Amino acid sequence: MDRTVHNGTGNAGQYPTGIANLYEHTDTTPDDLMLWFHHVPYSFKLHSGKSVIQHFYDAHYDGAKVAQTFPALWDSLRGKIDDKIFHHELFRLKYQAGHSIVWRDAVTEFYRNLSGIPDELGRVRHHPYRIEAEKMVLEGYHPVNVTPTETASKYVGVQTNGTGTATAVLQFPKGKYNLAINYYDLAKGQATWTVYLNKQLVGQWRGDNEDKLGHWPSDFLDGHSASRITFEGVQITPGDELVIVGKADGEEYAPLDYVSVLPEGIVD
């Protein structure tokens, strides 16, 4: 929206003359107020030297990266405060770390589509550590569209009406990885997921965020139900077989979005 006096709503003119003159022109308006007072294209260069769209990209990537540090920071309090309070908050910080990536991707993909301008750093739409669920070998699972589309990687997830398996042969260099799995946790059931590597149990979980997070859940595959769980320090060798078994419950059909096989220290 244009809030200038000469071409917009006149909002900028309500301030004392010296301040009003600053806000009336793009060359004197601070970056953090630029889009409040001026209607500019995504390619517009801010005082920082970045375009508007590049600022969007960078801010979301920077914010998600910082959010990944919160669980470890909180973990430094282990044994120093009440255990119930400690684990109560740790669960939420881990959830938020994963959810920050969900929304980072949704927002940057939305504005990538809207602007038609790629990320200068090549991050948006480039995820070398991901395996899309719909590209895995599926038994009992089938692809399903997600709305809004940007709240699924590549716009598509998978779900099962009963029990489904999603299998992939991993081709990453030998080493330790953090295995992150993006899924959808709906309010209309409590599906279960179990993860195996070469038939050895890696971990399992239940879709019960609606009982834990304390905010209004979603009944749909969207940005609110999108969730992420990470299993840390998984030893992987090229040729290892990864299998995820999902079991539907009620109207929660054990939906999956993608798997990320992340070298330690790498944020997806």
Kindly state the tokens that stand for 56.
């969007």
pLDDT in tens, 62-88: 999 999 999 999 999 999 999 999 999
Over the chain (268 residues), the average pLDDT of each successive run of 10 is: 95 95 97 98 98 99 98 97 97 97 98 98 97 99 97 98 99 98 97 99 97 89 97 98 99 98 93
Do 140 and 92 fall into the same domain?
A: no
- Predicted local confidence at residue 216, as pLDDT: 82
Domain count of the chain? 2
- Predicted local confidence at residue 211, as pLDDT: 92
Do 201 and 231 fall into the same domain?
A: yes
Q: How far is CA 266 from the centre of its chain?
A: 15
Do 65 and 150 fall into the same domain?
A: no
Do 110 and 161 fall into the same domain?
A: no
pLDDT in tens, 91-104: 999 999 999 999 99
Q: How far is CA 238 from the centre of its chain?
A: 27
Nearest to 202 by CA among 194, 212, 190: 194
Kindly state the tokens that stand for 211.
């009982």
Do 136 and 197 fall into the same domain?
A: yes
- State the residue range of the domain holding 169: 130-263
d(CA 185, CA 251): 11
Do 40 and 72 fall into the same domain?
A: yes
Do 137 and 259 fall into the same domain?
A: yes
Taken in order 126, 57, 108, 218, the sign of the CA dihedral is positive
Which CATH number goes with the domain that contains 171?
2.60.120.260
- Predicted local confidence at residue 214, as pLDDT: 81
Decide if 268 is inside a domain: no
Decide if 141 is inside a domain: yes
Decide if 121 is inside a domain: no
- Predicted local confidence at residue 215, as pLDDT: 80
Domain boundary, last residue among 92, 115, 138: 115
